[in-house]
Amino acid sequence: MFSFESNSNYINWLDLKHITILFSIVVFICIALYFLLFAKSKKGILATKITLATFLFVLEIGRIIWTVASNNYFNIPTNWWITINFESCTMMVWLNITLIVLSLILNKNNQLLSYLYNISFGIGLVGGIITFLYPAFINSSYSIFHFINLQSIITHIILIVLPLYFLKTKLFSLHLKNFWVIPFAYVCIGNISSMAGLISNWNFAFVFYCRPFIALNINIPFPYHILVIFISLSFVMLIVYSIADLYRCKKLNTKILKPTKFEYFSYIIIIIDATIHLLMLNSLRPLTKTLYGLLFLLPILISITLETILYKKTNKKAHLNE
């Protein structure tokens, strides 16, 4: 189960093995949600959140330890950028762990928690689903029952189950006015992945090329494939948020909340950030394996600073008007 010696276990897209695994995962997710939702009391919800966060933490730390041990076994120098991993799903693992820890400390109506719940749903859930649809979640060098593959499968299942659990237990709800958080998080993840990808010359979060596009013979030149991915995933979540908001408004006989000036400004910041990201990616691509990748942190820091200032100003005005 923890062996370092490899044995080929290739899975082709939508072959019998892939379809069987997908079916098993869907069944497992349904069963997991069914039993998790029995815990509806405050103590039950708390225990469930802590248990799932612990699973995520142990599995992720276990993956890092196994990777380092495997490198030592084969006398391969450990590249810590690749070992720590800057894929979007790995970031969602740490975000969900952080979210659960903060939910134990902060008031449940805290705005930061609301944003993190939305990111967990809009990116963690979608990322987990996409990962299973394209069989890159399996390391073909090892058996499907090897730790490194079981870790990947279980982790991505939890990334799907957690936001659905948060939603079902009413820890948050989908509001169209909060949708801006999703593209904003995508841009931040893109910048972080680009930073790590440039320094390590590794294709984190499809930053250099998109394997599903290649498999489908979709030819989109670098770096515009990133823009297509960003727009496509954001559009899918926009539809989901719109449907959820329309359903709730119809059920409660209320109107959809209009975006505030803060949300409108946020979309402007997202567009500027995304444009800067593409320009930087195009110009810095030849400078792989250099610390120039750290420049991708600047758009994130500037965007978060502007968002914080805008949020405080709009909130201050709202309080003065009351």
| pLDDT tens by residue, 238-264 | 999 999 989 888 888 888 777 788 888
Three-state DSSP class for 145? Answer: coil
Q: How far apart are CA 27 and CA 32, in angstroms?
A: 9
Type of residue found at 239: I
Report the pLDDT value the prediction gives residue 274, as an integer from 0 to 100: 92
CA angle 47, 122, 160 (to 5 degrees): 45
Task: Tell me the whole-structure pTM to 2 decimals.
Answer: 0.90
Task: pLDDT band for 74, please (50, 70, 90 cuts).
Answer: confident
Q: Is the pLDDT of residue 8 over 70?
A: no
Task: pLDDT band for 6, please (50, 70, 90 cuts).
Answer: low
Three-state DSSP class for 29? Answer: helix
What are the phi and psi torsion angles at 39 (to 5°)?
Answer: -85, 85
Report the pLDDT value the prediction gives residue 4, as an integer from 0 to 100: 60
Q: What is the mean pLDDT of the chain?
A: 85
Q: How far apart are CA 294 and CA 310, in angstroms?
A: 26
Q: Is the pLDDT of residue 194 over 90?
A: yes
Report the pLDDT value the prediction gives residue 319, as an integer from 0 to 100: 47
Q: Which residue has the higher pLDDT, 173 or 137?
A: 173
Type of residue found at 300: I
Of the chain, the percentage scoring pLDDT greater than 70 comes to 88
Report the pLDDT value the prediction gives residue 128, as an integer from 0 to 100: 86
Q: Which residue has the higher pLDDT, 226 or 134?
A: 226
What are the phi and psi torsion angles at 263 (to 5°)?
Answer: -65, -40
Mean pLDDT of 154-165: 91
Q: How far apart are CA 139 and CA 142, in angstroms?
A: 6
Q: Is the pLDDT of residue 156 over 50?
A: yes
Task: pLDDT band for 30, please (50, 70, 90 cuts).
Answer: confident
Of the chain, the percentage scoring pLDDT greater than 90 comes to 45
Q: Which residue has the higher pLDDT, 36 or 132?
A: 132
CA angle 93, 83, 296 (to 5 degrees): 75
Cα-based distances in Å from 231 to 75, 227, 238? 42, 6, 10
pLDDT tens by residue, 263-316: 889 999 999 999 999 999 989 888 777 888 899 999 999 899 988 888 887 766
For the chain, the residue count is: 322
**Residue pointed to by tokens 């991993």:** 85
